[in-house]
């Protein structure tokens, strides 16, 4: 069978201030019609660049320096803009990571759907709209006849991602590039999107390149997996073979990330460090937290788990005092009631409770240097100056495993995501706190980097006897780090207990669904889960 896409010795360069850097270094790739290829790697591995190059497109500042990209028998390297324009959307389509950011918010979904078929002249408006409804139905969107007439902000994230896939299918392309289409979604939503994408791709016999850093996801979707690192191909093999028997060390290390596991520690009989007692909180009229009660014991890690909208981040806001809770409940710190409002709390409490954020890019002021960020709590809480402060700064940098000589004077903008997250940890540590709230601290990071951060947090916990509250939707993280687990949904606690209690059956419905939705590195996992859900549905009806 002839290839639909053939890439030979592809080199792509990126231009910057000091010259050029090669970001794709000689990659060969073959894709047969109807085949789904998974591209896996950390950020910076060049997977998105390669994915875009498969369309004959490079980002601003990048250029294809040598090599060939053939789509069927057409050379895309050096092809004219009009040739490419004819192919894009028509024969090759692209599904972006964030559908919410990729749709034009001021046009209805169906108008954006029909744009490409009309532009390429392959469909009349009527036909294109009929196609849209058909595809919306295939993508299992609710109300396929109507949903197209809504605006992007009127549908949920998971639905948008499916609408976007439908849009990519609008001209019946031969090749679709999926660039991390489910990364921004909750696990429970992700499952629906994955199932829908896989079904449509299979039924239309479309070839696809599926880019992701999540191995479990790619093993559901791809026929074959290619692992990239620093612009090189590490290895490629059919999915089953790749999962069962990775050959290269790097691939093995990627595979091993999901196996970090904390020893079960006995629950000590101590007074809780932080007790949350019937706490309710509102955003205006909306009840975001509904009578939440649980204890956080000293030197333990409590994981708060739930989908977005379940109230986990609100809980962090309430504990820190950013959002005062409604009268009635109480938060007790070592047995004493905390004032609900941040302004009324004294400095020792502020110092004891620190926070690490989800997005390292926004958690640190881009105008500051590392020295300013980490040094401020030292001056503010501990009154350190001069040589004393310098010494503390250096020892903190060593704690977070960054060389003080190199990094202390760097600007925040000169750091990578993982390094920024480490600086965030240093800032929290600088206050010498007793309790740290970690708000999805690893979800914006690659798996290998995330593992490093988790290990660091565990090490620091041992060393300083810290207590953590870990907000996450990733159950692999819970497995890796938590002692106790609290499962939340719609602002209420669904289940709580030690990790082993929560992870072993019987589960309340919601916990069961959440646990079942976490992708596993088994190529048959999705089929199995979908089959189980179908049975559930049949039984319920």
Q: Please give the order of strands across the beta sheet that includes 492-498.
A: 353-356, 435-439, 467-472, 301-305, 484-489, 492-498
The interface mask with another protein, positions 381-420, x = CB under 8 A, is x---------------------------------------
Q: How far is the CB of 421 from another protein (least distance, A)?
A: 12
Query: Beta strands of 32-153 (E only): which ranges?
Result: 36-40, 62-71, 74-75, 92-95
Of the pair 57, 380, the CB lying nearest another protein is at 380
CB 94 within 8 A of CB 55: yes
CB 492 within 8 A of CB 292: yes
Q: How far is the CB of 350 from another protein (least distance, A)?
A: 4
From the list 101, 120, 10, the residue with the least C-alpha distance to 54 is 10
Of the pair 18, 126, the CB lying nearest another protein is at 18
Sites for another protein among residues 165-224 (CB under 8 A): none
Of the pair 367, 463, the CB lying nearest another protein is at 367
Applying CB under 8 A, among 173, 377, 519, 523 the residue interacting with another protein is 377
Distance CA 203, CA 524 (A): 18
Stretch that binds another protein, among 226-234, 251-259, 318-326, 461-469 (CB under 8 A): 318-326
Q: How far is the CB of 367 from another protein (least distance, A)?
A: 4
The owner of tokens 């744009």 is 115
Applying CB under 8 A, among 57, 151, 255, 380 the residue interacting with another protein is 380
Sites for another protein among residues 141-170 (CB under 8 A): none
Write phi, then psi, for 67 (nearest 5 degrees).
110, 180
From the list 418, 450, 524, 520, the residue with the least C-alpha distance to 190 is 520
From the list 375, 387, 377, the residue with the least C-alpha distance to 353 is 377
Distance CA 172, CA 168 (A): 8
CB 370 within 8 A of CB 410: yes
Distance CA 444, CA 183 (A): 9
Stretch that binds another protein, among 151-159, 203-211, 365-373, 479-487 (CB under 8 A): 365-373
Q: Is 61 in the site for another protein (CB under 8 A)?
A: yes
Q: Is 366 in the site for another protein (CB under 8 A)?
A: yes
Stretch that binds another protein, among 112-120, 259-267, 362-370, 520-528 (CB under 8 A): 362-370
Counting residues that bind another protein (by CB under 8 A) gives 28
Sites for another protein among residues 424-443 (CB under 8 A): 427, 431
From the list 191, 99, 109, the residue with the least C-alpha distance to 150 is 109
Sites for another protein among residues 324-353 (CB under 8 A): 342, 345, 347, 350, 353
Residues that bind another protein (CB under 8 A): 60-61, 320-322, 342, 345, 347, 350, 353-355, 357-359, 362-368, 376-377, 380-381, 427, 431
């Amino acid at each position: 069978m002839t290839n639909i896409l053939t890439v030979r010795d592809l080199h792509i360069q990126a231009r910057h201030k000091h010259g050029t850097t090669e970001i794709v270094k000689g990659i060969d790739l073959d894709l047969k019609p109807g085949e789904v290829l998974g591209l896996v790697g950390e950020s910076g591995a060049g997977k998105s660049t390669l994915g875009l190059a498969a369309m004959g497109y490079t980002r601003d500042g990048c250029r294809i320096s040598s090599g060939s990209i053939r789509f069927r028998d057409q050379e895309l390297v050096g092809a004219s803009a009009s040739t490419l324009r004819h192919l894009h959307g028509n024969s090759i389509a692209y599904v972006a990571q964030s559908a919410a950011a990729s749709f034009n918010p001021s046009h209805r979904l169906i108008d954006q759907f029909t744009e490409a078929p009309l532009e390429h002249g392959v469909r009349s408006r009527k036909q294109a709209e009929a196609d849209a409804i058909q595809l919306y139905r295939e993508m299992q969107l609710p109300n396929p006849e109507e949903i197209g007439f809504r605006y992007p902000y009127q549908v949920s994230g998971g639905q948008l991602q499916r609408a976007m896939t439908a849009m990519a299918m609008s001209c019946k392309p031969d090749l679709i590039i999926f660039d991390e289409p489910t990364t921004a979604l909750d696990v429970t939503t992700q499952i629906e999107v994955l199932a829908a994408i896989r079904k449509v791709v299979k039924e239309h016999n479309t070839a696809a390149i599926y880019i992701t850093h999540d191995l479990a996801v790619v093993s559901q979707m791809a026929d074959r997996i290619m692992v990239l690192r620093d612009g090189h191909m590490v290895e490629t093999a059919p999915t089953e073979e790749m999962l069962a028997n990775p050959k290269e060390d790097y691939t093995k290390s990627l595979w091993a990330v999901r196996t970090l596991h904390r020893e079960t520690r006995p629950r000590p009989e101590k007074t809780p460090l932080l007790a949350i007692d019937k706490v309710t909180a509102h955003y205006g009229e909306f009840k975001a937290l509904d009578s939440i009660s649980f204890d956080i014991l000293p030197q333990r890690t409590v994981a708060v788990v739930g989908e977005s909208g379940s109230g986990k981040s609100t809980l962090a806001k309430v504990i820190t005092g950013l959002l005062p809770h409604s009268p009635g409940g109480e938060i007790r710190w070592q047995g004493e009631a905390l004032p609900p409002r941040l302004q009324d709390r004294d400095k020792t409490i502020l110092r004891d409770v620190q926070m690490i954020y989800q997005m390292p890019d926004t958690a640190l002021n881009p105008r500051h240097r590392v020295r300013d960020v980490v040094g401020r709590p030292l001056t503010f809480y501990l009154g350190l100056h001069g040589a004393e402060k310098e010494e503390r700064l250096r020892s903190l940098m060593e704690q977070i495993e960054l060389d003080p000589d190199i990094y202390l004077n760097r600007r925040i903008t000169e750091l990578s995501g993982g390094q920024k997250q480490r600086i965030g940890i240093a800032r929290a540590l600088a206050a010498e706190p007793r309790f740290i709230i970690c708000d999805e601290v690893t979800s914006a990071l690659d798996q290998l980097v995330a593992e490093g951060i988790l290990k660091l947090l565990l090490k620091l916990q041992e060393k300083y006897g810290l207590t953590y509250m870990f907000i996450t939707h990733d159950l692999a993280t819970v497995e890796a780090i938590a002692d106790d687990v609290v499962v939340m949904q719609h602002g209420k606690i669904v289940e709580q207990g030690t990790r082993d209690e929560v992870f072993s059956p019987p589960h309340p419905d919601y916990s069961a669904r959440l646990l079942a939705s976490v992708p596993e590195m088994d190529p048959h996992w999705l089929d199995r889960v979908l089959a189980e859900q179908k049975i559930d549905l049949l039984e319920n009806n």
